[in-house]
Structures are given as C-alpha cells and as structure tokens.
C-alpha cells in the first residue's frame, strides 16, 4: 500500500510539473502580443493633411476663399487708407468664400457623378 501511495504521489508531482511546463496561459499571452503587434502595424497615425483631404471640397473651398479674402483685406489695409478698406475687405471675404464654396460643391458633384 505504501508503494501505491508513493506511486500516486509521484504521478501527481509529474502531472503538476507537466502542467507548469505547458502553461496554456503563456501561449495565450504570446498570441495576444502577436495580434497587438500586427494591429499596431496596420493602424497608421492620422496626419493633418489626411484630415484636410477627407473634408468635402465645398468646405475646403469655403475656407480657402475666406483665407484669400483676408489676404486681400490685409493688402488693401496696407496699401490704401480710407473707410472703404474695411468694407471692401469684408466684401472680398464673403464673395470669395461663397465662390470657393460653390466651386467646391461643383467638384463634389462631379466626383459623385464619376462614382455612379
């Protein structure tokens, strides 16, 4: 009977060592590291140029028209002196922003028609 107890104890220790050597959690952790590394390589960082490129062209045109209008206002302010400079600058911003929006909308419609 003592021999059987010793044998059972030996088999129990052997089984415990085998389970520790196998350690299924180690394989899971290795798989998770591999998946996270692959996902990290796949995801790239978003840049400002990509964000601007994703905007519809009508909004880019509106912004660009407003910037050009402000530049014209600045040039008028530097070159001319008078009350009409502020009014002319504001009118140029509004008109160029509207033209940029309309032109961008036309490009957006063209692109939509191409996709059809």
pLDDT (tens, 9 = 90+) of the chain, 116 residues, equals 577 888 888 888 888 888 777 776 777 777 788 888 888 777 777 788 888 888 899 999 999 999 999 999 999 889 888 888 888 889 999 999 999 999 999 999 998 888 88
Task: Check if the beta carbon of residue 100 is closer than 8 Å to that of residue 64.
Answer: yes
Specify whether 62 is located in the same domain as 99: yes
Q: What's 116's DSSP letter?
A: -
- With a threshold of 0.85, does the pTM exceed it? no
Specify whether 56 is located in the same domain as 25: no
Specify whether 76 is located in the same domain as 94: yes
Burial letters 50-59, b for 16+ CB under 10 A, else e: eeeeeeebbe
Specify whether 38 is located in the same domain as 53: no
Specify whether 29 is located in the same domain as 85: no
Give the domain range for residue 52. Answer: 48-115
Q: How many folded domains does the chain comprise?
A: 2
Specify whether 33 is located in the same domain as 52: no
Specify whether 64 is located in the same domain as 111: yes
Specify whether 24 is located in the same domain as 81: no
Domain edge (last residue) among 42, 58, 73: 42
């Amino acid at each position: 009977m003592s021999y059987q107890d010793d044998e059972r104890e030996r088999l129990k220790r052997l089984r415990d060592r085998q389970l520790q050597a196998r350690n299924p959690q180690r394989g899971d952790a290795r798989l998770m590291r591999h998946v996270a590394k692959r996902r990290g390589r796949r995801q790239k960082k978003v840049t400002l140029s990509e964000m601007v490129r994703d905007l519809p062209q009508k909004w880019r045109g509106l912004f660009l028209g407003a910037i050009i209008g402000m530049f014209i206002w600045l040039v008028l302010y530097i070159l001319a002196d008078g009350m009409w400079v502020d009014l002319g600058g504001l009118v140029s911003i509004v008109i160029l922003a509207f033209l940029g929006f309309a032109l961008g909308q036309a490009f957006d419609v063209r692109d939509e028609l191409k996709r059809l």
